[in-house]
Structure 1
Amino acid sequence: MSESVVDTVVAHLRGAIGAEPQRASVTFLGVEPIDVLRFVDTAEGGDEVVFASAGCARHPMTDPSDLAADPVRGPRAEVVVRMRSRGELAGLHTAIAVLAAAPAVEGVILGADALVDLSEPLWTGSSCTAVVLEPDAIPDCPLPAPMSPVEFLRAVPITANEAAWVRLRGVDELRRAWREAGIDVADPHRVAVDPSV
């Protein structure tokens, strides 16, 4: 059943994005593999690259302290990262797999506005070490009842200083600062903002 969920998610992503992905598999000790799909914008002049996990939604996310957790019902999600780059962004697929494995490894429940700190660069040379999550434009992927549909959460890379601000003031203040500064959060070379200014 869990692999059919992964296959359904991959097919849904292909249809929603309209392209064939490159696919890499990342394995963690004691956890089923997480696949990371990389979709490249092939339109002339296009530079968006969409990364998406496939494997986080194998099982519903549950509170690890809940000894009677339902193995079928419950929220399911996959992680999406959207960047404007033709560069390699080496290591980003591993960071995405770490995020997607967090529910199974650490009992984290991924959801909108959550802050997840990886404490290391998301890709080689990046100043971003954490992400904030928000609903992605990809529509939910339906699964057979009684399973919940799979939600796609966009993971927006942020710096350690921006993560500290989120902890103090909340993610909405950070988003406000981005808007006011005209920040493109999909630019891998963007500057960090200081929302206190």
Structure 2
Amino acid sequence: MLKYRLLILLLFLGATTAFAQAIPIYFNGNRVTTDKERATSYGVYGKLSGEDLWVLKRYDLDDNLLFSGAYKDEQLTKPHGKFIFYGSIFDYNYQNFSNFKNETTDRYITQQGEYVDGLEQGKWTDYFPDGRIMGYRNYVNGKLEGETAFFNYKGRRMLVGHYKGGLRVGTWYDLKKKIKEVFEDDKLISTTKLKKAEILEIE
């Protein structure tokens, strides 16, 4: 069955994408496998015509798109460019006791960001099933840098803080726990309870 789905997908991608050649690939977990029977997901990838980039679209065994992105090598070890990750609204609702709905699809963008030469770069953003921002973080050469923030579904900030060189620094506010923490090079220096006025100011 997987063989026929892949054939249809290869024909479709060949007609819509400027691949020099579209190639099927199988995964067991996150490892590439040649045993189709053990595959837990599959993908189609190919070298973009006139470019030194290999584009991959990876699917689960129910043909749901998991992510799409590009790599600098045929072995798919060095991500480069924009990556978009997808999830199931049903699964999100089940795991979070929520009730998001979309009349046309069960899929939604869960996260997107960019790689440069295999390292995360710039702003990465997470989303709720209705498209609202769940959180964001920033990277410089694969390390977290600058402000990080996460929100509840009403848009209120629930966690906010800063990174420097991949380490937590300065004051972090956790509104779920209603605490304020101070870090120095990822080492916790102090924890204090937030006052109501501070919570309202942060939200």
TM-score, length of structure 2 as denominator length = 0.35
Flag the structure with higher strand content.
2
TM-score, length of structure 1 as denominator length = 0.36
